Amino acid sequence: MLVGMVDVIFSDVAQPDQARIVAYNAQYFLKNGGHCVISIKANCIDSTAAPEVVFAQEINKLKAEKFKAKEQVTLEPYERDHAKEQVTLEPYERDHAMVVAAYRVVKKGE
């Protein structure tokens, strides 16, 4: 293997199947108990749905793939309808969210 197991995966690919891409990479590269930071741009996933609905759907997809959402942060007023852990100041971006999640969380004592 060229790359060993990693502690964190960062994803900002703006694709409709972004949660699947993160989950696929996590299966191969993310340590149990590792984390992902995923930047979700609602417009790239479903431009007809409200951003809040898209964000909730993407979090549910991550939960189905053994992720546990730890934090979601919106970027307004800097980026409308975005959420991220780290704020970037791009005034014209819209419909974006950043989610921090833990993967295959190991319970204490196991």
Q: State pLDDT tens for residues 44-77.
A: 888 899 888 988 898 899 889 888 888 887 766 6
Position with higher pLDDT, 6 vs 2: 6
Look up the CATH number of the domain holding residue 45: 3.40.50.150
pLDDT tier for residue 92 given thresholds of 50, 70 and 90: very low
Sheet strand arrangement including 67-73: 6-11, 30-41, 96-103, 67-73
User: Is the pLDDT assigned to residue 34 strictly greater than 70?
Assistant: yes
Within a domain: 43: yes
Within a domain: 82: yes
Non-local (6+) Cβ contacts of 102 within 8 A are: 33, 34, 35, 67, 68, 70
User: Is the pLDDT assigned to residue 2 strictly greater than 80?
Assistant: no
Choose among 48, 56, 51: nearest CA to 93: 51
Domain range for 57:
6-103
- Supply the pLDDT for residue 21: 92
Specify the pTM. 0.73
- Supply the pLDDT for residue 71: 83
